[in-house]
Structure 1
């Protein structure tokens, strides 16, 4: 259930209404301030609450609505149709993820291999326009004999790359035991496809305050994905970015996965959360990454995550889907053309510098 307050409602009245609703109906009240509305989200057993009683609680209440979706906080209704934004303070600037902001470019290798490689890659992707470096310290692999990442020592290498470039860091956490170490380095904590329904992990990342990038599971429905995001938000963390990375369908001969770009308009209608597309995992082949990245921009993505490696043929993981430095630089130029056409390509903005 959401309570929409009238424009100009005094701050003290917002507090009084919030506390009053919580006390009278024994519910949790969460405040959301949009561009044009102040919305109070009522969380708890609201089935027996009479909306007319709440309407009469204060003359500052404009409207009371029930949220019909099973995912309450994630629902677009929860913000009265307005999009949310996730703000990340990187060493160099404040970066905004959201449908009313420029597209955010995230790039880097699948795995952190050594310091020279990760710093060199960070400098390359930054020069091409990336705001964040991606790189796995902990890697979930299908085979127990495949490279699993260097673990905690690789987090130090990501920190060195950030120190050298000022890029933000996005890296995956696989286990609740590693969350504290990952959170000390990461600016955005990634929950991978294989852990999308690891509910214990979702609760833990929801209980800390770093933004969370939630990748869609390989066979997850959109409802299951959004309910996983609900776990994070229900635990207290409102800063969630949804990442489509391809789903498993019946044809894997020509592409690693099926990149579901239809989720962009679908999610726009269902949720207020920012959307990221990962065409690297979505296709599994480097030659398919550029056209799918371009298509994602045209479809309205808020961010892109692209794998880049100095020598893909020698990469310890996901080499076939990684772009070389030269190809990524060229792709950045190609994406800028489409991005400018749709009005979403970033321009230098001194106002964003911290």
Structure 2
């Protein structure tokens, strides 16, 4: 039985238990029900200090229900995923991150029990078995979930406070010369030759190229209209998605030197009708990365290009080649990067600057091809 020596005070009370330890009791500010603090204390002074802190938190509006943080991370993560509006591919990636990298460590733990030290230890362990980009993504998702838990007043502060854990240094990617681009393109074979050339000389992403339709190609002006991007789910399902921002919808000029290649490809390899895909797989279906992965590796080897070059490096190559003489705004627009000055950028582009960038790339092509033919 509790000792009758407990002393009443204006806010709450402290009393000594039969065990000799001291208990704090106070009114829940939300329900007005009498509740006991989670901990007991060795001395009466310690208990009174703890009660004073609780009173101060309630007065400042900083009190949170200690029971709220008892919900497990796993349960809360499922709710968090269900409540978030995400593109299908983004949702799939987030669900995969939660399932593979977060639940094994944090799934059964109460939200309020997760500490910065535990997060740091989890990250260190992940880095021993998983690449840094994956660990950074997992950390970002963990932090986002716990940020929402803070907003929901389930925990007081986010334990994801590991400095530098939300980013990593991207290694410098290789840049191909114009001659190397053509060497790889020629080695790819006719079906995917134009795919390589446009990736390098327009800087379009694979998904943007894969989703191009005939109506997106203006051969009179040598311009591609980027309206969408193809995505592939882990199940293999393909779908078109809108760009991440308005900047992703854009016209991109290509060098007029590529017009014969573009027209020849449209005549032989593209799907029929205005909505026919510009690039198709070998059996006439939609283009997938797997359709040409072996061709890419073989062509890269045949061309004598380093094995470290990925298809996406063609975009980096295009960005680097186009940067000569282009302003940052013009380059960002061409590459589909968002910017707060989108209207000003668009004005530059319609005034012909993007055509100038494409023409400079054309000059590089003529020089490189001329040197190769001489």
TM range (shorter): under 0.3
Return the TM-score normalized by structure 2: 0.23
Structure ID, larger Rg: 2
More strand by share: 1
Return the TM-score normalized by structure 1: 0.24
More helix by share: 2
Q: Highest relative contact order (Cα 8 Å, sep 6+), 1 or 2?
A: 1
